[in-house]
Structures are given as C-alpha cells and as structure tokens.
Structure 1
Amino acid sequence: NLGEALIKLMETTIRQEVGRQNSDDLIVSRQQIGTNVQRELEKATDLWGIKITRIEIQEIKFDESLQDNLVKQREAELVKRGQVVEAQQDKEVMITKAEGIRQEQILLAEGKKQAQILEAEGKFEAARLESEGNFLLESRAREGEAKGMTAMGEALRENPEGLIILDALEAQTKVAKSIGDSNNTLIIPSETAGLFGVIGSITKTLGMMENGFNFSKSKNTEETKNIKKDKS
C-alpha cells in the first residue's frame, strides 16, 4: 500500500529530524523541519514516480513524559545559559580589573621614571650653573689680578720711586708685627717721619732688637732726662 508506506517513511523521517533538534528549535523552526522532511522523502518517492509538492507541520505535540523532559531540558538549558552569561560577566569583570591594575602599574612606573628623569635633569642643571658660576668668579678674579698688576706696572714705570716706598712699607709692617709679638716696647719719634726716616728707624730698631735691648723714646722721655741733668 503506497499510502501506508509514505506515512511510515514520513514518521521515520520526522523522528530523525526531530532528534537532530533541541527543544527550542522544535518550537520555533517548524517550517525548516518541514522543508528537511520533504527533501528526505523526495529521495525515496522519486523511485516510485511520486512528486511531493509541499509538507507543512501545523503543530507539534508531545506526550506528558516527553513534555516533562522537554521542560526539564529547557530549564537546564536556561540554567546553563545563565551560568555561561554569569561566567562571562565574571570573566569580563576580572579582565577589566586586571587591565585597570596593569594600567595603574604602568602609570606609576612612568611617573617614577619621569620623576627620576626630572631629578637627574635638576641635578645636572644645578651642577652646570655652579660650574659656570665658579668659572665666572675665577675669571673675574684673574681678570682683576691682571688689571691690578697692569696698573701697578704702569704706575711704577711712571714713578720708579714707588717701588722703594712699597719695599719700605713692607719692611715696616714686618717690624710692627715682630714688636707686637715680643715683650719689647718701641715708640718711634716724630722726627723720623719721612721715607728715609722710617727706613732708618726700622733698621736701627731691628739692630737693637737683635741685641736684646728694651727701649722707649719720646719727647717726654728726653725732657725728663734734661730735667734730671739740670738738678744735678
């Protein structure tokens, strides 16, 4: 019987096609299931000379046990999807947190590096300014000494007697220092004023210091000696 054979073939093909689908696809893809069943049936009916124009699945009904299984499967699928979504969310949160930590570490490292660079540049600039300042001071000091020597040379060329005066003042300074460091007392008389008087007094003083004499000369001392002579 051709009708019974087609029905059995259709039932077998539908079972196979339903077995390939999950519960969600069975509910929403009836048209696609019908198209697949029609394609499989046409492979067999072409040999019989039968042409199938269309197969339409109007409704899919399940028995109670299968319905319960589908409901459980659906619930399990929803739980699984929820877990996947939650895991994906946790993963994204962890990735975002890790990326934030990484960026923070990068910024801290860059900030530390920049601070070290600025510190090194500051030390270099300070050393450079100090070196330039020292060089400038030394240059000005050498320039001042050179100008002073030049001026002194010009002055001595114009007045050679100035050299003698300088030597005399230097000798007098040494004598004054020696007298200040010793217990001897010297009062230079006013009559020795003048360059040669100063030189003579210094020479005489040095000689008397070498002989170990302590002396003091002044107008008051001479007057005292004259008074004693008159009384005698």
Structure 2
Amino acid sequence: MEKVSGTKLVEDDQDIAELQRDYLELNEMNVNIVADGLVGLEEGLTGKYDLIILDIMIPSMTGFEICKRLREEVDTPILMVSAKKEDIDKIRALGFGADDYITKPFSPNELVARVKSHLNRFERLTKGPQSISDEILEVNDVRLDAKSHKVFSFDQEINLTTKEFELLKFLMKHPNQVFSKEDLFERVWGLDSLGDTSTVVVHIKRLREKIEFDPKNPVFLETIWGSGYRFNNN
C-alpha cells in the first residue's frame, strides 16, 4: 500500500482547518483537509496517512464514531480536537481509541508539538530498529514481540493500539517499578506539561481489559494507591 506522507484533517470549520493546515505545513508536514465525516472515515480507512486529526462535531457522523470505526482496522495515531471540555468527552474519545485529545481554543504551536510527538513515536515504534534485548519481553503470562508488534496474554494474541502497545512495552521493560501518571505520560507520550494525565488512566483501563484474566482484579497491571502503576513480576 502506498503511504501518503501527511496528515488527514477532518474539520468542517474552514477557518480553523486552514489555520491548522498552515501551521503544520510551516513545519514541513503535508495536510489533506476534508469537511465531511463519512469522507474522512473512508479515506482514513485506507491506512495511507501518518496521522489523523478529528473534530468531534462534523457532518455525516461524529468524530467519536469515526474514531471507533478507524480503530477497528488501522493503528494510525488519532488526535481528537473539540470545544467540548468535559472530562467525560475526553474519556469517551480515549476509550474509542484516540491517542490524544485537545480542547479548543488551543495554541497552534501546541497542536504542532503534539502532532510531531505522535508522528515521531509512531515511526520509531513501527519502523525503528530494535535491539535483540528489546525484541521479546516476557513477564508472567504476558509476552510482547516488539519486532512483529504482537502481544500474547495467556497464550492468546490480543490487539493493541499503538499507544497501548507502547505503554505496555514501557511497563514490561521496568517490572515492579512504580510510575505516576505524570511519569508515564512524559515517558510514553513525551509531551510533559502539554498533556492531560487522564489519558494514562484510560489507557491503563483498556490494557487491563485486554490482558488481564479479571480486569476488576488485575494481577499484571497493579495500582499502587497514591503513587501510580506498576507491572507486577512476582
């Protein structure tokens, strides 16, 4: 499949879309704009784009619906943009598989920083060379193959999004070490103070639902109250 070196921007407000495109193109990124949700979904499903930026309230279908449908078939980084500021909207977006969520109004420079971070990390994860020691990680009944991008829990292969995979890999490389939400956001997302640490909480919840035998009583991904999370290797 031919890869398009650029970003798919699904936004029906022309002024906002053009502002985002201008700032991204100033940073040497190609941007393709569509104003209709259904068209954005169809083009996003081709898997040709490096990153997808979704507004929530757009014609034909919502950004939530698009995100959920995209995540069923592609692991392209998805960044959601919305004027909705409630935590439930952020949690819902992340729950559908979005890698990040930005609330309007925002600084165009913040958008550029987040897009660059996701693009760089996705490229390293999918294309970058792996050392032999990093290729296979096995902790208890979880096995992660970095080279093939596969994860097995209790000998069953599970599907993870890019950020879920990267978060799990980081925790498995540091078994029994406790990391706060802020630590994990900085280490995995690489955005430090630009981000919302609720992203970490949602991704931990999704990982538990996929790798734990009983997500409500996790054995692998433990919560250390008042401190953070650790991957148990006992």
TM over 0.5: no
Higher strand share: 2
Give TM-score scaled by structure 2 length: 0.21
Give TM-score scaled by structure 1 length: 0.21
> Per chain length, whose mean CA-contact separation is higher, i.e. which structure has more relative contact order (CA < 8 Å, sep 6+)?
2
State the structure with more CA Rg: 1
